[in-house]
Structure 1
Amino acid sequence: MGRLKAALRRTAPWAARNADGAIALALAFVVGVLGIMPPEIFGSEGDKIQTQLVNSSSLVIMALVATALLRDRARQAPVERTITSGALAELPIRLARLEEIETLAHSTRHALDALQLVRVLGSRQEIAQCHAEARRDTARWLFKGGTGTYLRAVTLPQCVAAARRDKRHLTVRVEVIDPSDLEVCETYAHYRRSLSDTPDGTGETWTTDRVRKESYATVLAAFWHRQRYGLLDIGVGLSSTMTTFRWDLSSSRLIMTVEDPNKAMTALADTFYYENCDTELRLSFEQARRVPLEMYRKVPLSDEPTIEEVQELFERVGLPLPKSYNGHDVVDIARKALRAVDPYA
């Protein structure tokens, strides 16, 4: 009995809210019961009475169902009017606002990317990967640094090879220490030794003589590659001041490295930092002592330049080798120019 009362209490609120539906359900149950009962229960005319009861109850059920449908339609009418007159009417405006929000989000994302000046690279592998991505399909390369060892060993040969493969133009600007300026060469050698007095990745220690030879080798490499690829536009500037940074700038990104082979910074093209470094490198190159690369036709170099060819080259371009240099020194310069060892390998 208690369970029945509890069930009635639970169903009573629902029945009150849906009286017509509840009555129709009850009548449907009664009609079902009447339909399966034996006609004899209703007397001598049981079939007729049973049929009348079922038909009458069915009509009442249909009336209740129609009432429920009309009531639901009446309830939905205000909602439909609100949707059709309000939300749908405002839909174009809301879509326009959504488009504005998407545009604003895109602009904000672009601004945040521009504000992110640099990303720090923390390993040799990450730096090497970043250089490889910078070289991929680049149409230009700007370099400023000490003597350009990595430039000769990796960057310049691979960029020229890729440009030759695709038969496209390549612009290169290189700024290194002036090998004829003994003071800056000594300053740079002292700086490198102060960081480490052990041999670097090339197996050599830094001396004034090595600094000079490395810079001479960069000049020689520029002439050698220019003579062998007609679509290479290369320029070399010689600086009387040293820098502790090395800048490598391609069409896609800027990479700044230091003496620590596991530390570097990079910035993508079209960012604030990239654009300003691009301007800085261009202005610095314009102020450097320019090597007359346009004379490359007048000083031909063999695939394996001879001592005489190298000496004549530097004489003709106004950058004579020191008189103390012998044949071994000239061969050393040629080796560094065309077979430079990757200092980060």
Structure 2
Amino acid sequence: MTRFTAALKRVTPWAAQNADGAIALVLAVVIGVLGIMPNEVVPTEVQTQLVNAATLVIMALVATALLRDRVRQAPLEKTVTSGALAELPARLARLDEIETLANSTRKALDALQLVRVLASKHEIAQSHAEARRDTPRWSFKGGTGTYLRAVTLPECVAAARRDKRHLTVRVEIIDPTDVEVCETYAHYRRSLSDSPDATGETWTTDRARKESYATILAAFWHRQRYGLLDIGVGLSSTMTTFRWDLSATRLIMTVEDPNMAMTALAGTFYYENCDTELRLSFEQARQVPLEAYKKVPLSDEPTIEEVQELFERIEVPLPKAYNGRDVVDIARKALRAVDPYGS
């Protein structure tokens, strides 16, 4: 009896909340029981009447349950419609903004991945070789352009001549007539290492001047020998601790450490901005009149007189203290420059 009472207490709340369903269930059970009883106990006519009546009652209870559930769901549907669905356009717009931001971030990360550090002489040399391959243009900004004379300019000109194509070169170096900037540059290089570099020389003011003169002479010499070479040289009164080499495919930025450099591929943010920087810097430098290359022909092995006349014509005078040996030294550096990286 106690168990029955406890079970009744558990069932009663559920039956109260679902009275229509509970009544329909009880009626169905009762009618089902009556339907299987013998005719002697419950006559067939009585069974039929009870089944018909109970069916109508059950259908009414089911309809009542459906109407009750619809009434209960109405506030929820209203809340959903006026709340989440009303905010759906704004949320979709927000998703579009997030997608746009994600795409921009991905592009920025892709660009950053193309700026990488070169940590060895081999990597730097390989990057320079890839930059020179089939490039129609080259821009340089640095100290005196030693590597440019030794490797970059001769190989780029040779490749352009082989393919019979145009080559544009822009070079910005320190002004050899500006003793102050040459002294500053030599002091900076010497402060990093007072030992001879791969060329076998130490840095002095005189060497800095000769290296810059040699770059100017090399530009004229190559211009006279290849008609499709468009080369310009700008002279700067300020020095930089970086060296920029920029081709049509990549940028290479080197420092005095021969085992450290940085490269960026064309089309990246860093490459495009450095390209703009080099163009503007070159325009502000003092321009060497390369158009005068026809006025002073240079021999395959320029003579002392030819070199002296060239610098007088272009108004970049050699120091009065320079003798024939100094002029020969400049010509040697111009056409037989030693690779400062020893590669």
Aligned-partner Cα distance in 1 for 2:304–2:132: 32
Which letter does structure 1 place at the counterpart of 2:248?
A: S
Aligned to 2:330: 333
How far off its partner does 1:118 sit? 2.0
Unaligned runs of 5+ in 1: 1-103
Aligned to 1:143: 140
Q: Does 1:255 align with 2:241?
A: no
Q: Does 1:227 align with 2:227?
A: no
Aligned to 1:95: none
Alignment check: 8 A CA contact 1:117 1:272 kept: no
Deviations 1:64-111 (A, max 9, x none): xxxxxxxxxxxxxxxxxxxxxxxxxxxxxxxxxxxxxxxx99987644
Aligned-partner Cα distance in 2 for 1:250–1:109: 26
Aligned-partner Cα distance in 2 for 1:108–1:183: 46
Q: Does 1:239 align with 2:236?
A: yes
Aligned-partner Cα distance in 2 for 1:200–1:320: 28
Aligned to 2:153: 156
Deviations 1:29-87 (A, max 9, x none): xxxxxxxxxxxxxxxxxxxxxxxxxxxxxxxxxxxxxxxxxxxxxxxxxxxxxxxxxxx
What SS class does the counterpart of residue 253 from structure 2 fall into? strand
| TM alignment of 1:43-82, pairs within 5 A | none
Deviations 1:155-182 (A, max 9, x none): 0000000000000000000000000000
Greater shift after overlay, 300-309 or 109-118?
109-118
Aligned-partner Cα distance in 2 for 1:262–1:108: 32
Deviations 1:211-244 (A, max 9, x none): 0000000000000000000000000000000000
Alignment check: 8 A CA contact 1:179 1:216 kept: yes
Aligned residues: 243
Which letter does structure 1 place at the counterpart of 2:164?
A: K
How far off its partner does 1:114 sit? 1.8
Q: Does 1:294 align with 2:291?
A: yes
Aligned to 1:28: none
| TM alignment of 1:168-179, pairs within 5 A | 168-179=165-176
Q: Does 1:187 align with 2:181?
A: no
Aligned-partner Cα distance in 2 for 1:213–1:115: 39
| TM alignment of 1:275-286, pairs within 5 A | 275-286=272-283
Unaligned runs of 5+ in 2: 1-100
From 251, 262, 265, the equivalent of 1:265 is 262
Q: Which runs of 4+ in 1 moved over 3 A?
A: 104-111
How far off its partner does 1:153 sit? 0.1
Q: Does 1:116 align with 2:108?
A: no
Q: Does 1:207 align with 2:204?
A: yes
TM-score, normalization by structure 1: 0.69
Deviations 1:174-217 (A, max 9, x none): 00000000000000000001000000010000000000000000
Deviations 1:6-49 (A, max 9, x none): xxxxxxxxxxxxxxxxxxxxxxxxxxxxxxxxxxxxxxxxxxxx
Deviations 1:122-181 (A, max 9, x none): 000000000000000001000000000000000000000000000000000000000000
From 142, 157, 163, the equivalent of 1:166 is 163
What SS class does the counterpart of residue 252 from structure 2 fall into? strand
User: How many percent of aligned residue pairs carry the same amino acid?
Assistant: 88
Which letter does structure 2 place at the counterpart of 1:332?
A: D
Distance change (3 Å), C-alpha of 1:109 and 1:282: same
TM-score, normalization by structure 2: 0.69
Which letter does structure 1 place at the counterpart of 2:148?
A: L
Which letter does structure 1 place at the counterpart of 2:174?
A: I
Aligned to 1:320: 317
Aligned-partner Cα distance in 1 for 2:143–2:114: 24
